[in-house]
Amino acid sequence: NKIVFVYKENKTDAWVIVRQFLQVVNNQGELDYVEDADAFEQFVGKINTNYKANDYLKSYTGYQYTKSEIRVNDEVTSNTTLTKQGMEICLYYDMISYGYEVRYLKEGSNEPVAEPVTGSKLFGTIITGEAITVENYELVGDITEQKLTITADKSAIVANGSDAVTFTVKYGAEDVS
């Protein structure tokens, strides 16, 4: 009495895995990559077929595609032709740097009372703008600093048609009576 299962070698199919990695700032303040688990893809491909990384690119707000790696048996290779060992396609996206501007404006207008502070930071960075002392003006209100998260959505906060993300500290005329 015996049960026998007979197998033949699969010479036509192999697995393909596609993984997307996004750049982040880790807890030590260093740039690193984390996988977008929601974008994980696995399928059966045809052996001797060419699989190109560019065919699996995704669009991520605030990121740009920078490189890809093809891995077979955990080794990076330049071969994009599927073999019986299968392949893993890894795509990497880096954060985009966006400009920002801290403006010091006269109350009720867009007229500057001091030169703006400008800079550039990576997508997702939180910056702090601080009120300054301006001769012949006093700060309106009690808020002396404001935080801003650098985003890719500049449509509502563009200043004078520039690409700079802007937030404003308003000043009123100093009472000299």
**Average per-residue pLDDT in the chain?**
83
- Residue partners of 39: CB distance under 8 A and separation at least 6: 18, 19, 20, 58
Segments of the chain scoring below 50 in pLDDT? 155-167, 170-171, 173-177
Q: What is the DSSP letter of 109?
A: S
Task: For residue 19, give Cα distances in angstroms to 91, 114, 155, 172.
Answer: 6, 48, 31, 54
Per-residue pLDDT tens digits for 35-68 = 999 999 999 999 999 999 999 999 998 899 999 9
